[in-house]
Amino acid sequence: MLYSLIRPALFTLDAERAHGLAIKALKALPRGRPEPLGGPLETEVAGIRFPNPVGMAAGFDKDAEVADALLGRGFGFVEVGSITPLPQPGNPKPRLFRLEEDRAVINRMGFNNGGAEAAAVRVASRGTRPGVLGINIGANKDSADRIADYAAMTRIMAPYAAYLAVNISSPNTPGLRALQDEGALVELLDGVLEARGAQGPPVFLKVAPDLQNADVDAITRIAMDKALGALIVANTTISRPELASEHRGETGGLSGAPLKPLALEMVRAFRKASGGAIPLVGVGGIATAEDAWERIRAGASLVQLYSAMTYRGPSIARQITKGLTKLMKRDGFASIAEAVGSEEA
C-alpha cells in the first residue's frame, strides 16, 4: 500500500534516477532476515538449497550493494551484476525507459558497473551471512578478448558465489550474443569451467529469448555436455510485440509483461530439448504468483523477476511466494520440485 502511494511521485522522475533512489533506500533500511530453509517452498537446484524459488534477476543490483536487503524482503535468492573485470560507464543516457501502458521496460544500459575489484570487496564482506547469492559475470565492451574476461571474472568471483551466471545474452553490448554460437560457446565455457576449478560453484548460462530451434538444441546439448548447473531462460528481447507506450521505438532490450509469452515458450522449448535433464530458471514477464506457477509447470525449477518490481514494489516477492503456497496446495503438489514440468502430464 505504501509503494502504491509513492509510485506516482517516483514515476515523475527519470527511470534511472528513480532506480538509484531505490538502491539508496534499500541500503538505508534494516537488512531483515533472509527466508529460512525448511518451508513449504524450499527446493534444490544444482546442489543449492533455495528457501523459495523466487529470485531477483540480474540488472537490479548491478554492483552488489543491496543483496542482503533483498534477501530480507522475501526473495529466495538474489543474482547481482552483470559485473565486468574493469569499471565501465555503460551506454550514453537516457538508456532506461518505463513503458507504463505496457507494464514494461526498455533498457540499453550496456553493463554499467564499478568493476570486479569493488564488487568483490562487497560480496566478500558478507562473510558467512545466510542467503543464496548468485553473481552474474560479463565482459568489458572494449575487451580484446571477451572469453578471457569471463575466465578472469570466474576466478575473482567464484569464492563468493553460490552460483556463477555467465551472461552472453545482453543485446546492449555489440557482438556479445555471438558468443551463443556453438563454437564460441564451447570455447567460452571451457575457459570458465577451467577457471572455476573442480570445487567451485555451479555455472549457470543466461540465454536470449530470440533463438531459433537449432540454437536451442545446440545450447542445450553443450550445457548438458559441460554439466552446467542450469540455464537461465531468458534475457531481454530485441523483438517488439505491439506496444502502446511512447517509448516503444527505443532501442535496447524489452522486459516486463510483453516478454512473457516469448519467455514462456522458450522455457518450454528448452525443457523439450533437454527432456528435463538440466534445470531451468524462468525469467521474463513474471509479475504474479500465477505467472510464476505457469513457468514452473512449464519446466522452470526457479523463477526470477525485476521489471515487475518497478510496478508492484518491494513486497512483490512475498506476495508471489504466498500465492505459490496456495497454488501448490490447490493443485495437489507436495513440493515445488514435483510441480516442475507438470503441464506435460
DSSP state of 66: S
Q: Give how far Cα 221 sits from Cα of 45, 58, 225, 278, 342, Å.
A: 19, 25, 6, 10, 23
Q: What Å distances lie between residue 170 and 45, 54, 107, 177, 234, CA to CA? A: 24, 22, 10, 7, 10
Amino acid at 182: E
Q: Which three cell numbers stand for residue 221?
A: 546439448
The reply to whether 270 sits in an annotated binding site is no
Q: Would you list the DSSP string of 100-153? A: GGGTEEEE---S-B--HHHHHHHHHTTTT-SSEEEEEE---TT-S-HHHHHHHH
Name the pairing type of β-strands 104-107 and 132-137: unpaired
The reply to whether 110 sits in an annotated binding site is yes
For this structure, is 170 an active site residue?
yes
Mention every residue, 6+ apart, whose C-beta is less than 8 A from residue 213: 269
Is 52 annotated as belonging to a binding site? no
The one catalytic residue in 169, 170, 255, 301 is: 170
67 annotated ligand-binding residue: no
Is 167 among the annotated ligand-binding positions?
yes
H or E stretch at 3: helix 2-10
Annotated binding-site residue? 108: yes
Residue 285 annotated as part of some ligand binding site: yes
Tell me whether residue 14 is annotated as binding: no
Whether 59 has a binding-site annotation, put simply, is yes
Residue 136 labeled ligand binder = yes
Is 157 annotated in some ligand binding site?
no
Chain centroid to CA 241: 22
Q: Does 24 show up as a binding residue in the annotation?
A: no
Ligand-binding site membership of 206 (annotated) = yes
Confirm whether residue 307 is marked as ligand binding.
Answer: yes
107 annotated as a binding-site residue: yes
Q: Nearest CA to 258 among 275, 276, 238?
A: 238
The answer to whether the CB of 118 falls within 8 A of the CB of 82 is no
Write out the binding residues for FMN: 58-62, 82, 136, 167, 206, 234, 256, 285, 306-307
Q: Enumerate the active-site residues.
A: 170
Write out the binding residues for substrate: 62, 107-111, 167, 172, 235-236
Write out the binding residues: 58-62, 82, 107-111, 136, 167, 172, 206, 234-236, 256, 285, 306-307
